Amino acid sequence: DQQVKQNSPSLSVQEGRISILNCDYTNSMFDYFLWYKKYPAEGPTFLISISSIKDKNEDGRFTVFLNKSAKHLSLHIVPSQPGDSAVYFCAASYGQNFVFGPGTRLSVLP
């Protein structure tokens, strides 16, 4: 049973437009959520996170929204740039437990 789902395996967006990556979770114990970006043959790098007590966190071009009642979070990237092309992993955690989603491959087209 997948506790963290990213239902879109891939997403293509035109440069300059908004990219929206979605993530759903099932375990209500999760209280902290993170997004990681991963290039091929590299480890994931931390992008942005949000605590369950908030519903929005913004950092530059990246904004994460959390809807606790729907157990849904999303990552917005605006404007999208070609360098944003990567695989994005959503992760949910409580304590030492981290569960990753399967990832969404974002392609930003010039």
Partner 1 sequence: GAVVSQHPSWVICKSGTSVKIECRSLDFQATTMFWYRQFPKQSLMLMATSNEGSKATYEQGVEKDKFLINHASLTLSTLTVTSAHPEDSSFYICSAQQGGGEKLFFGSGTQLSVL
Cα 92–chain centre separation? 10
Looking at 23, 64, 77, 91, which residue binds partner 1 (CB under 8 A)?
91
Shortest Cβ 44–partner 1 spacing (Å): 5
Contact assessment for residue 104 and residue 84, using Cβ atoms and an 8 Å cutoff: no
Q: Is 45 in the site for partner 1 (CB under 8 A)?
A: yes
Q: Is 70 in the site for partner 1 (CB under 8 A)?
A: no
From the list 13, 21, 23, 34, which residue makes contact with partner 1 (rule: CB under 8 A)? Answer: 34
Is there binding between residue 32 and partner 1 (CB under 8 A)?
Answer: yes
Q: Nearest 5°: phi and psi at 88? A: -110, 125
Q: In the complex, which residues of this chain contact partner 1 (CB under 8 A)?
A: 32, 34, 36, 41-46, 49, 89, 91, 93, 96, 98, 100-103
